[in-house]
Amino acid sequence: MVYFEEVRRHIRIDAAHVYGGLLATLTAWCEYHQIPYEGIPVGTIKKKMTGKGNASKEEIIKVVCAKGHAPCDDNEADALAILHVMKGKEIRHVN
């Protein structure tokens, strides 16, 4: 199973285009290899980790560190946050 950050708001048009390309590549790869995937909305990740859907990057990093991790940047903190949010969910295995 592949979980990824589902971004719905982009500050710049270029960022939206890049995200669209990355999303297309990821989903095509998953489909080709028959690996299930799911986007997790940013607000959902923030709410489940901090209790508020508009938490800052620094707040996410703080919570991730409190869970015993030492992320090198906010991107790694986001990935670890997704792991913590989704680890309680039933995971389907692909044969």
The reported pLDDT for the residue numbered 87 is: 87
Please indicate, yes or no, if residue 29 is contained in any of the structural domains: yes
Please indicate, yes or no, if residue 93 is contained in any of the structural domains: no
Please indicate, yes or no, if residue 95 is contained in any of the structural domains: no
For residue 89, give the amino acid letter: K
Please indicate, yes or no, if residue 92 is contained in any of the structural domains: no
Residues 26-55 pLDDT 10s: 999 999 999 999 999 999 999 999 999 999
Please indicate, yes or no, if residue 91 is contained in any of the structural domains: no
pLDDT of 90 strictly over 50: no
Please indicate, yes or no, if residue 94 is contained in any of the structural domains: no
d(CA 30, CA 39): 12
The reported pLDDT for the residue numbered 88 is: 66
The reported pLDDT for the residue numbered 42 is: 93
Residue 24 belongs to what domain range?
2-86
Does the predicted model carry a pTM greater than 0.75?
Answer: yes
CATH of the domain at 13: 3.30.420.10
The reported pLDDT for the residue numbered 15 is: 84
> Number of structural domains, the chain?
1
Q: How big is the chain by its Cα radius of gyration, in Å?
A: 14
- Residue in 30, 11, 10 with CA at minimum distance from that of residue 20: 10
Residues 45-81 pLDDT 10s: 999 999 999 999 999 999 999 999 999 999 999 999 9
The Cα-based distances of 55 to 23, 34, 51, 70, 74 in angstroms read 24, 34, 8, 19, 12
The reported pLDDT for the residue numbered 93 is: 38
d(CA 39, CA 4): 5
